[in-house]
């Protein structure tokens, strides 16, 4: 009549390993660096438009490449199989 309740814990494999989490953090850091590079700088006069500050190589080319590289690292981290 009274059934025994078992308190055994079954060890199920985790979805990600420590290595996967390391790659996820690296990808996030790379994306944050890219976003930080896009942040506008202080201009001396806010009423004057400076073309070289807004359309610089850092903001238009380098920062988006870093963001895309970070997203690529995230995809790699998610699909990477843990070592057996």
Is there a domain that residue 23 lies in?
Answer: yes
Mean pLDDT, the chain, as a whole number?
86
* Total of domains in the chain: 1
pTM of structure = 0.76
What residues make up the domain containing 53?
Answer: 18-40+49-79
- Taking CA atoms, 22 is separated from 4, 28, 53, 68, 80, in Å, by 42, 10, 35, 18, 12
User: 66 versus 52: which is more confidently predicted?
Assistant: 66
Label residue 49 by pLDDT band (50, 70, 90): confident
33 in a structural domain: yes
Tell me if 10 is assigned to some domain: no
Question: In this model, does residue 29 exceed pLDDT 70?
Answer: yes
Is it the case that residue 4 has pLDDT exceeding 80?
A: no
Q: What is the pLDDT of residue 46?
A: 78
13, 19, 24, 25: CA torsion to nearest 10: 130
Quick one: CA dihedral 48, 51, 57, 59, positive or negative? positive
Residue 2 has pLDDT above 80, yes or no: no
């Amino acid at each position: 009549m009274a059934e025994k309740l078992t308190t055994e814990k079954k060890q199920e494999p985790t979805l990600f390993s420590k290595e996967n989490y390391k790659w996820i953090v690296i990808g996030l850091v790379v994306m944050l660096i890219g976003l930080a590079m896009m942040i506008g700088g202080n201009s001396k006069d806010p009423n004057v438009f400076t073309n070289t500050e807004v359309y610089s190589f850092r903001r238009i080319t380098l920062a988006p490449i870093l963001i895309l590289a970070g997203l690529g690292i995230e995809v790699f981290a998610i699909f990477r199989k843990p070592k057996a």
